[in-house]
Amino acid sequence: MSGPLSDIRVLDISTVLAGPNCARYLADFGADVIKVERPDTGDSLRGMAWRDPRDGSGLWWKLVNRNKRNIALDLKNTDDRELFLRLLDEANVLVENFRPGTLERLDLHPDTLIARNPKLVVVRISGFGQDGPYAKRPGFASIAESMAGGEPDGPPMLPAIALTDEVTGITAAFAAMVALHSGVGQVVDVNLLTTIFQIMGPVISLYKLTGELQPRLGSGLPYTVPRGVYQCVDGKWVGVSASSDTVAARVMKILGLETDERFTTFAGRMEHRELLQKLMGDWCATRTRDEVVAIFEEAEAAVGPVFDMSDIAKDPHYAARNMIQEVGNTPMQGLIAALSKTPGELRWEGRLLNSDCDAINSQGWLTP
């Protein structure tokens, strides 16, 4: 094993997305991660959504469980449980995302586990946290995202990706590393609701101090305009943001509005939001996407083409940054961060169920 985390041993008994993603980020930077699955069905992620047309394996599975070794264990079976506990006694991190109370019912109370292994970090990922009125509720990302917002005249909207699961995985990996750095065995309580709430900005401060509620504005924001997506004459779309005065001034110049006093300040632009959004939309509607992007880039104003995956697959910047890599023979996202001296490494895609059983039974953890 190589990589900056090659001395870290992680037991991943979590399922689907947030927990396995936490362990994936650690594995990508060298941690020895053993993915533990049910012997009968394995992780339900194996059969979720899209499948690789070449071998029938789940594409989610290949991505989220890359760089992990794999074993199937029944934690209610005496022999399997004994092996699990032996591994746990030498582990640094345990990742689980059962509903609160399940680990205790399996007679694997975190206090007992930490007593056996005083430096063990137990990462517990749930929908709403390990305590509180909602703790026992089943938690999925869509539930936490239900407060996300929507179009002004339409119903609330949920993102079309597993946003909260993905961000919670990153959050849990960060929190695990903080706990490991402390050198003290402890429980890390990460949940979907807190994670999505953390990235909502100061809107709770606004409400608690003023009683004001941020309105639903679709792609817009209440404190900056123009901001949103706009359709071009060729039917393609661009995203525009003018969230600083300097950038907004450049956008106003592009629109021929640099001397219009209604648009020279944030306050003025907010007051005339609907008019400015219309002017921005009308301007884009007479130009192609490439023309809009070229004009904005020349003016050093913020713009981006709205991509679908076919655009991303051929985009030169994605290629230059190694954002899409072949792992095994499957294309997928590359590493989340580039370290100049101790980079991560993508070694293999998610493996078959129980594929490392013999090696783990005989050798246990790998030697850094």
Domain map (residue ranges) of the chain: 9-200+320-363, 227-312
The predicted structure's pLDDT at residue 215: 84
Mean pLDDT of the chain: 94
pLDDT digits (tens, 9 = 90+) for 320-364: 999 999 999 999 999 999 999 999 999 999 999 999 999 999 999
Integer Cα distance of 351 and 177 in angstroms: 25
pLDDT digits (tens, 9 = 90+) for 102-114: 999 999 999 999 9
List the CATH code of the domain at 227-312. 3.30.1540.10
Q: 9-200+320-363: which CATH architecture?
A: 3-Layer(aba) Sandwich (3.40)
Higher-pLDDT residue of 158 and 196 is 196
Q: What are the strands of the beta sheet with 121-126, ordered from one edge?
A: 68-72, 32-37, 9-12, 93-96, 121-126, 186-191
Number of Cα atoms under 13 Å in the Cβ half of residue 77: 10
Q: What percent of the chain has pLDDT over 90?
A: 86
8 A C-beta contact, residue 138 and residue 99: yes
Question: What mean pLDDT do residues 167-185 have?
Answer: 98
Write the CB contacts of 246 (distance below 8 Å, at least 6 apart in sequence): none
State both tokens at 238. 């661009």
Question: What mean pLDDT do residues 139-165 have?
Answer: 71
pLDDT band at 149 (very low <50, low <70, confident <90, very high): low
pLDDT band at 368 (very low <50, low <70, confident <90, very high): confident
pLDDT digits (tens, 9 = 90+) for 273-297: 999 999 999 999 999 999 999 999 9
The predicted structure's pLDDT at residue 144: 63
Please list the active-site residues. Answer: 165
Integer Cα distance of 165 and 183 in angstroms: 27
SS3 content of the chain, % helix, strand, coil (to 5): 40, 15, 45
Question: What mean pLDDT do residues 216-234 have?
Answer: 90
Integer Cα distance of 354 and 36 in angstroms: 8
The predicted structure's pLDDT at residue 139: 74
Q: What percent of the chain has pLDDT over 70?
A: 96
